[in-house]
Structures are given as C-alpha cells and as structure tokens.
Structure 1
Amino acid sequence: MAAIIGSVTTSFKKEIRIFQQYEVWSRILTWDQKWLYIVTHFVQKGSVKQIDLETHKISTGKTFGNCGVTMSEGSKEKPVRPVVFATSVSKYVFKKGRFTVAPKRLLRASGLLGEGDKTGEFPAQCQDQGLKITEATMGKNTDDGSDLEIGRAIEEQRLRGMKYAKAWAELDTLHEELLSEHETSDCVPTIGSFSDIAGYGISYH
C-alpha cells in the first residue's frame, strides 16, 4: 500500500533566518472518506516541550522525558506560547493498487482510534452537518477510558479540523483560473518576459 501526497500549502508567519535551527511538529488535523489531512508547524527549537515519545514507549515499554515544570493550580501566569515560523497543511490518499483505502481503516489498524470497532464513527447526519460534539454530549466524566468516550473525543477533534480542511479545499478551484475562456483560444496577453539566469532558458510571464 502506498501513501500518496495530494497537495501541500505553506503559510509563513515569521522569517526563518539562514542556519537558524527549528523543529517540525506534525499532527493529524482531520480525515474524510478519502483524504487524511496533516497540519505541520515549523517552530523555534526548544519552544515546544514534549511529554513523551510514543515510538519510544512502544519499542522499549518505558516512558521517555517529561513536560518539565508544570504551572501550579490557580496560577495567573500565562503559559509561554511556542514561536511559530510557518504552518503547512498537506493531504494524503492511501492506495492499494487502484483501490483507495479509507484513512479511518488505517488509523484503526494502527491502534490510534481505540480498541472498539466503532470508535470514532458516528451517524452520517452528524458528520455531514458538522455538528460539534460538546462536553454535555460527551458526558461530565470523559476520563473513564471507555471506547465510547474515546470515540466521541476523537470525533470532536476530527470535526474541529474539518472546518480548516474544507476552507483549504476551496483553493483547489484556483487550478481552473490559469487562463480565461478567450485566452484558451487566443494569445495570452502578458506584460513582459524576463529571463532568470542567462543561458538557463527560464522565463517569467
């Protein structure tokens, strides 16, 4: 099975200076029947504290690292926000031959959706309408570890991420904006043609 990247868009917030060290943090944003959306943040090195490494825990059975000093309860001091240089959103499709594998099948097989067969799955009408699963619907106590509560928490996060994925998907319509109707059957008007480097044949129109 192959993971194929469909597209990626990056928005820069701050300059990344030459030779400046930075870290790349990625997380699952959301998924639908076809695409898995990943959001990636380029941040200043050391500005994000990791609690643990799941890969280390799986391979050794031991925890790794900690989150450092935690804020005391009732403290009015605001936590320090990480310095974000840029944010990227990418989408992946999974193929087995010509067959498209739904992302939720891979997530469940990877153990990321809990142990229940229905974890993370909710009625289609809830998903289509993008209904937000609130704390009230999840129950007052969501720490009991049950598959139902885990599934509801996962679905809440998926629906939160879907609003960004839908807005980003609107950019796909720009593929049709290269040429207008009259330009497809006539010459394209341009302001000028400029060579980048002499001898390389690169020009901008």
Structure 2
Amino acid sequence: MGYLARRRSSYALQQCHFSHVFLPAVVRSRSPATEGDCNIHKSNSTYITDLDVSRAHLSGFLFAPILLSIKSSIHCNLLVSAISCTFHQEIKSFRPYEIWTRVASWDDKWIYMVTHFVDTSEFWPSRYVVQDLTSTNRRIRVPVPHEKEQRVVFASAVARMVFKSGRLTVPPKRALEICGLLSAQAAECPTAAPCPDPGAGVTESATGFNKWTVEEMALYKEKGLPIVRLERGWDAVRGLFREDQCVLAEYRDSMW
C-alpha cells in the first residue's frame, strides 16, 4: 500500500487543489475465479484487499506533500484504525465493478474515507483531474437517478484513519493544510451556507466540486461526520454515494 501511495503521490503532486478534497478516485476491477466463494460470488474477505488498494491510490493523489515530506518538515504515515463494510448485493465471479473512494469527513483526530463498490456500466465520469482519459468515455453520459444509484451499489465501507508522525498524532486539519487541501478560510468556517445533502444526488453547482464555495464544503463535511461515525446506522453509508462528473483519476488493475 505504501508503494502505491508514493507512486501516485509523485504523479499528482502539483495537480491537486483544495476544491478536490472530496472528489473520488476510481479503481476498475473484475472478480476473478480465485476470489470466489462456494456460491460463486466474490468472497467477503477479498473486499478488504480492494479497499487497501483503492485507499492507497486516493492517499497518493491527495496527501503527497505530507507522505513525502515535500512542502513541510513533517513526515506522516496514514494508518488505518478501523474498517466497517456493509454488503448490499453479491458480485458474481468475472463480473466487472468499480471502487469509488473519497474523503468523506474528519474530526480532531480521525479522517474518514468512504468506499463504494458499484456497477461499472452505470457511471462514466466526463473529466479526470490528474489524467487525460476523456478518450475512454466512449458512451454518451446520461445522469443516473439517485434511486438507481443506490440499486447499483454492491457494498459500502468506511475506513477511519489517522496521520502519524512517529508516535505523534497529526490532526487531519493540519495535514490537509500542509497538502494544500484546506484553505485558511475553510479552516475557520464551520457551517454557513446551504449545500447538497450527502445522501442526495449531484446538483449542477456541485458537479465538479470546483464550483463549491468554502462554506458549502465545510457544511458538507459536517453533515457527513455522523454518517461515517456510524451514528445513523450502517446503511446510511450507502446513501453517501453519488455520481460525479469529475473524479481525481481512474486506475485499472490487471484484470482489465
């Protein structure tokens, strides 16, 4: 995981902006026969490996400065403290799927990433922030209704993570500031303006996140916090999935 994170870090170092903090990274994969269980479905235990790979790519894109000690003397590792995974629908062997991972929220100690395993045929982003992959979008993109988004989510997971510099815990707000993902204005702005509900579909103003105001991003983070803490139940995490026209990047594993 560390190798993948650092490889992505060097690639995306100069390309991420604070408006990208909530954008997802997408991994396209397929369930091989070796990951099947007795029901010829993807085994539940193999989801954890996929989560590791997907988080590594997202961490490399967003947290390059603090992982590689480039913009600060502080060097951190991003460690997993807890994982919760809920299975909504089976993935049959050899079926392709996508893993969408994004930062959902953070508090004084923990940063939370949410991951959704979704049907690969339903969502076609139109823009990639750190890649030029527009030629891969061979289909005409049609927005997917929010109700259908929920039906094509195979599984949803939350990872609670912490930035560690040796034995010292680095607050997520400080780490995000070092990485250029949290402006001074955002750090001081709690909840000031209305923004899309975390469980709602994409709105026109939030399509690319670069159109979100600092106040909207702060409120989105606060609304997502009780969900990723599982205070509203496991199934509420599923509602955090939404289709983004703009994603950080797409990565395809060897099965593609």
Secondary structure, aligned partner of 2:180: coil
Amino acid of the structure 1 residue aligned with 2:215: R
Distance 1:132 1:162, change over 3 A: farther
The equivalent residue for 2:194 is 134
TM-score normalised per structure 1: 0.58
- Per-residue deviation at 1:106? 2.2
Percent identity of paired positions between Structure 1 and Structure 2: 28
Distance 1:35 1:170, change over 3 A: farther
Instruction: Answer yes or no: is the 8 Å Cα contact 1:121–1:155 preserved in 2.
Output: no
Q: Is the 8 A contact 2:124 2:141 kept in 1?
A: no
1:110 CA displacement: 2.4
- 1:167 maps to what in 2? 230
What is the deviation of 1:165? 2.6
Larger Rg: 1
Give the match's secondary structure for 1:16: coil
Task: Give, in angstroms, the shift of residue 109 of structure 1.
Answer: 2.5
**Shift in CA distance, 78/27, structure 1 to aligned 2, threshold 3 Å:** closer
Matched to 2:220, the amino acid is Q
The structure-2 alpha-carbon separation of the partners of 1:132 and 1:12, relative to structure 1 and needing over 3 Å to count, comes to farther
CA distance 1:89–1:64, change in 2 (3 Å): same
Query: What is the rounded CA distance, in whole Å, between the counterparts of 2:233 and 2:165 in structure 1?
Result: 27
- Which residue number in structure 1 is paired with residue 67 of structure 2? none
Q: In 2 relative to 1, CA 98–29 (structure 1 residues): closer, same or farther, beyond 3 Å?
A: same
Query: Could you say which residue in structure 1 is the equivalent of 2:245?
Result: none
Counterparts of 1:80 and 1:168, CA distance in 2 = 23
Give the structure 2 partner of residue 90 of structure 1. 159
Mapping for residues 32-51 of structure 1, pairs under 5 Å: 32-51=107-126
Cα distance in 2 for residues equivalent to 1:15 and 1:170: 21
How far is 1:81 from its partner? 3.1
**In 1: Cα distance, 2:78 partner to 2:117 partner:** 22
Q: Does 1:155 align with 2:218?
A: yes
Q: Which structure features the higher share of helix residues?
A: 2
Q: CA deviation at 1:46?
A: 2.7
CA distance in 2: counterparts of 1:13 and 1:4, whole angstroms = 27
How far apart, in 2, do the equivalents of 1:102 and 1:165 lie?
17
The residue type paired with residue 29 of structure 1 is A
CA–CA distance in structure 2, aligned partners of residues 54 and 87 of structure 1: 24
**Equivalence for 2:173:** 104
Greater mean deviation of Cα atoms: 31-40 or 44-53:
44-53
| Change in CA separation of 1:96 and 1:117 when aligned onto 2, cut-off 3 Å | same
Q: Relative CO higher for 1 or 2, CA cutoff 8 Å, sep ≥ 6? A: 2
Residue identity in the other structure for 1:28? V
Looking at structure 1, the residues matched to 88 and 187 of structure 2 have their Cα atoms a distance apart, in angstroms, of 33
CA deviation map 1:126-148 (0-9, x unaligned): 5xxxx67426xxxxxx89xxxxx
Distance 1:70 1:80, change over 3 A: farther
Aligned partners of 2:96 and 2:141: how far apart in 1?
Answer: 26
Deviation at 1:160, TM superposition (A): 1.3
Moved more, 94-103 or 44-53: 44-53
Contact 2:114 2:228 in 1 (8 A): no
Q: Do the aligned partners of residues 78 and 92 (structure 1) sit closer, same or farther apart at CA in structure 2, a change above 3 Å counting?
A: closer
The secondary structure found in structure 2 opposite 1:48 is coil
The offset of 1:69, in angstroms, is: 3.8
Tell me if 1:117 matches 2:208: no
Unaligned runs of 5+ in 1: 57-62, 136-141, 144-148, 172-205
**Structure 2: 5+ residue stretches without partners:** 1-75, 196-204, 207-211, 235-256
Deviations 1:166-188 (A, max 9, x none): 335999xxxxxxxxxxxxxxxxx
Contact 2:109 2:169 in 1 (8 A): yes
The 3-state SS of whatever aligns with 1:162 is helix
